């Protein structure tokens, strides 16, 4: 299934995209894509519905983040060896985990805002995991039982704040609009091989990133099991899993986003994001 949330920011309704790519309104069946609705039982209830019985929704609606009720927005650093190399960093021996602020989450086509004072706002296309059931001390073999699905993420980053403002990456990862998610949440049955998801990102029509999850150092199951050692993951939590090479910081000379730029990114079965880059305004 491809599940979405549509409508104005803060007032989104749940929906799904049917096999004919028609947007259907789920709000008569569930209140939102959150909590128990993300569990295996909750998703099975949605799966049993006849999509044609659901009202059609206007396809011009804004798409919001495809999940809500998120309590942890986590990210994985340097999970592709070539990305670590392009930024002059060591390859981690254990997953490198950091936080992104929940307030950074926006819809897939919302504007990306360059923060006030930013000198190095960068892009990162990534596969993101959405947790469906509480996960604490789970094994790799059990990990996917706790997953609601997957979505596309742009882990937007302010590199100067990330690296030069006291050592906490969260500072460079958390500005409003730095966490576009979607367009849709794809249930695990739609992705036959999590190690064969192709990723790409363009800036102003020029290809910047091309990669595949086959090159991830730590796979999805490993990441869930590892993180669940340190915290209890909750339904709606998001883990974005790292980016392939081609970020602006790795270019020679480095190139960063500026107002007026256009971002396009996508991944196998996860859809595409298209966003405008705008300057901060109070």
Q: One digit per residue, pLDDT tens: the chain, 282 residues?
A: 999 999 999 999 999 999 999 999 999 999 999 999 999 999 999 999 999 999 999 999 999 999 999 999 999 999 999 998 998 888 899 999 999 999 999 999 999 999 999 999 999 999 999 999 999 999 999 999 999 999 999 999 999 999 999 988 999 999 999 999 999 999 999 999 999 999 999 999 999 999 999 999 999 999 999 999 999 999 999 999 999 999 999 999 999 999 999 999 999 999 999 999 999 998
**234 lies in some domain:** yes
Could you give the number of structural domains in the chain? Answer: 1
Domain span at 82: 64-279
- Asked if residue 149 is part of any domain, the answer here is yes
Task: Give burial (CB, 10 Å; 0-12/13-18/19+) of 99.
Answer: middle
- The 112-114 sheet, strands edge to edge: 112-114, 271-279, 262-267, 198-203, 206-212
Query: Is 55 a member of any domain?
Result: no
Q: Detail the DSSP E strand segments found in 155-234.
A: 157-158, 179-180, 185-186, 198-203, 206-212
* Token pair in block for residue 151: 């979505």
- Residue 94 corresponds to which tokens in the numbers above? 């254990």
Give the contacts of 282 (CB within 8 A, at least 6 positions apart): none
Domain for residue 11, yes or no? no
Q: Is residue 18 part of a domain?
A: no
In a domain? residue 157: yes
pLDDT the model gives residue 221: 98
Q: What CATH number is attached to the domain comprising 241? A: 3.90.850.10
**pTM, 2 dp:** 0.98
Residues 6 or more apart whose Cβ sits within 8 Å of residue 33:
3, 5, 14, 66, 67, 68, 185
Verify cis geometry, omega within 30 degrees of 0, for the bond prior to 253.
yes
Q: Report if residue 190 sits inside a domain.
A: yes
List beta partners, residue 231: none
* Amino acid 214: pLDDT: 97
- Does residue 256 fall inside a structural domain? yes
What was the pLDDT predicted at 89?
87
Say how far apart CA 203 and CA 173 lie, in whole Å: 19
Burial zone of 183 (CB within 10 Å; 0-12 exposed, 13-18 middle, 19+ buried): buried
The answer to whether residues 173 and 104 touch, using CB atoms and an 8 Å cutoff, is yes
Helix (H, G, I), strand (E, B) or coil at 1: coil
CA–CA dist 267, 248 (Å, integer)? 19
How far apart are alpha carbons 93 and 178 in whole angstroms? 27
Interatomic CA distance for residues 140 and 226, integer angstroms: 8
Q: Going edge to edge, which strands form the sheet with 185-186?
A: 23-25, 13-17, 2-6, 185-186, 147-154, 125-131, 238-240, 73-77, 96-99
């Amino acid at each position: 299934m491809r599940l979405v949330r549509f409508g104005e920011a803060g007032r989104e309704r749940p929906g799904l995209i049917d096999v004919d790519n028609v947007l259907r309104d789920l709000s008569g069946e569930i209140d939102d894509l959150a909590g128990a609705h993300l569990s295996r039982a909750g998703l099975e209830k949605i799966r049993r519905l006849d999509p044609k019985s659901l009202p059609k929704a206007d396809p011009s609606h804004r798409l919001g983040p495809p999940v809500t009720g998120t309590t942890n927005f986590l990210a994985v650093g340097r999970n592709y060896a070539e990305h670590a190399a392009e930024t002059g960093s060591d390859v981690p021996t254990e997953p490198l985990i950091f936080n992104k602020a929940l307030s950074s989450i926006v819809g897939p086509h919302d504007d990306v805002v360059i923060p006030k004072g930013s000198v190095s706002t960068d892009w990162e296309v990534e596969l993101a995991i959405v947790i469906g059931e509480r996960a604490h001390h789970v094994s790799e073999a059990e990990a996917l039982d706790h997953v609601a699905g997957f979505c596309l993420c742009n882990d937007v980053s302010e590199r100067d704040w990330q690296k030069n403002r006291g050592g906490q990456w969260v500072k460079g990862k958390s500005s409003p609009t730095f966490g576009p998610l979607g367009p849709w949440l794809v249930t695990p049955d739609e992705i036959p091989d999590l190690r064969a998801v192709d990723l790409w990102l363009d800036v102003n029509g020029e290809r910047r990133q091309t990669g595949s999850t086959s090159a991830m150092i730590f796979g999805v199951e490993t990441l869930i099991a590892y993180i669940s050692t340190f915290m209890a993951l909750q339904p709606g939590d998001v883990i974005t899993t790292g980016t392939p090479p081609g970020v602006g910081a790795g270019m020679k000379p480095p190139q960063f986003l500026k107002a007026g730029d256009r971002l396009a990114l996508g991944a196998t079965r996860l859809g595409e994001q298209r966003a405008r880059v705008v300057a901060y305004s109070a």
